[in-house]
Every structure is written in C-alpha cells, then in structure tokens.
Amino acid sequence: MENRIGTRPIIIAIDGPAASGKSTTAKIVAGKLGYTYIDTGAMYRSVTLRVLRSGLLDALRRDAGQVAGLLRDLTIEFRGDRVFLDGEDVSEAIRENLVSREVSFVSSLKPVRDRLLELQQSMGAARGVVMDGRDIGTVVFPDAELKIFLVADPRERARRRHAELAKKGGSATVPTVEELEEEIRQRDREDEQRTHAPLKRHPDAVVVDTSILTIEEQVAQVYGLAVKVLEG
C-alpha cells in the first residue's frame, strides 16, 4: 500500500452502470491510496433488504410516503469490506436475487435518496474516500477532485457477471449470458430514466471504457489519474 494520506486527501467519485467494474476498481484504488472505499450500491441494497423484511414492498408501490417510517433509526456502516445494517452483517444477504430485482425501485424513491445522500456526504466529509455508485459525481460530491465514469459493453458486462456467478457455485442455477445481458440492459434503463438522481455522466468526469481492459489496466488508469490530481 502506498499511503498518500500525507498529501491533501481528495474524493474520487466513480460512477457507471451495473457490472462495469466500479467496485473492483474502486476497492483496489482505495487500498493503494490508503483511502476508505464506500460502496453506495451496498447502501441502497441494505435499504431494499429492510423494505423486503418489513413486508411493505407492495404498500410502497402504492404509497411511497410510507417508506419514511422504515428510514427512521436506519444505520448502515462499513467495517473493512463488510456492510452492517442496524448492526447486523448483511454482506451476503444484500446480494440475493430478490434484493437485486427490487433495488432499482427502492432506490428511485425520493425519501430513500435524501436519507442516503445525507449519510454518504457525512461518510465522505473528511475526504480520503473512493465512493462508487450512480450519482456520486453528479449529486453526492459534485466537488469531487476526480470523477470517473466507467462504461462497458452490455454483453461484456453480462459475461463478467456470468463468470462471477459460476465461480461462486452453490445450488442455484446460473442464468445464461443472454438472460444476464437482458437484466443488465433493463437495470441500465431504470437507473438512467428515473426522475431523482438518474445515472448520467458529469461533464467533468473522465470516461474509462473497460470493455477491453483487464482489471490491472483499469486500476492503473484510475490510479494514474488520482496521482496526477494529488501531485498537481
């Protein structure tokens, strides 16, 4: 680890669509800089898990206002690379299929976004963070010193997700690459078309297309840009 805490710490915002390589890149870059990595997708997933466990999902589809009660007393914390919802380690539970299916809906609700925006801004207030998501450069930290927008071809993203699921194994049957590509395209549409904080590139964000890059190459590009900002 190359600790650059001695220099003025910055915020690195990494946005982009599902499975574009954000979390892998963000985690490694944060480690190299001695920064904290904050996975905001995991925060939206945690709220979704809370909604699902409450049994109020259908009620929220009719009346989104009811979500306010579920946001009261909400605590989300990162400890190392584990995420804790109300003190419980939910790192695995938030990756379940049901959560993945409903997270776009839950994250489109204004009270949910407002609450998580507040939490994310306080988590990054001291700077020295790499934060990834959909709206970090546009809404959460428009003043981030470095903004990255990661993109990749949907078929390539589906292939990566497929390889990841196949490696994990378990009893569940792994969806085909075609099925995963359709899911990814659907989620892209939902994230790009929602009213509040849709997925879009900040005009200052540097676009990195990871379709033909290895993880090492994408890390090297983002890290190189960070070093330039830190030394500039």
Nearer to ligand DC, 4 or 83 (CB): 83
**Phi/psi at 113 (5° precision):** -65, -40
Cβ 176 to ligand DC shortest distance, Å: 20
Please say whether the beta carbons of 30 and 81 come within 8 A. Answer: no
The residue ranges that bind ligand DC (CB under 6 A) are: 18, 40-41, 44-45, 103-104, 107, 133-136, 187, 191
Cβ 162 to ligand DC shortest distance, Å: 15
Cβ 42 to ligand DC shortest distance, Å: 6
Cβ 217 to ligand DC shortest distance, Å: 21
Q: Which two tokens stand for residue 23?
A: 């979390």
Nearer to ligand DC, 12 or 136 (CB): 136
Count Cβ atoms below 10 Å from residue 91 Cβ, excluding itself. Answer: 18
Cβ 113 to ligand DC shortest distance, Å: 7
Encode 79-121 in three state secondary structure.
Answer: ECCEEEECCEECCCHHHCHHHHHHHHHHCCCHHHHHHHHHHHH
Q: Find tokens 């990566």 and name the residue.
A: 160
Nearer to ligand DC, 155 or 194 (CB): 194
Nearer to ligand DC, 129 or 136 (CB): 136
Cβ 120 to ligand DC shortest distance, Å: 8
Please say whether the beta carbons of 184 and 19 come within 8 A. Answer: yes
Nearer to ligand DC, 162 or 187 (CB): 187
Altogether, the residues listed in the chain come to a count of 232
3-state helix, strand, coil in the chain (%, to 5): 55, 15, 35
Query: Could you give the 3-state DSSP secondary structure of residue 56?
Result: coil
Nearer to ligand DC, 160 or 187 (CB): 187
> How far apart (Å, rounded) are the C-alpha atoms in residues 56 and 50?
9
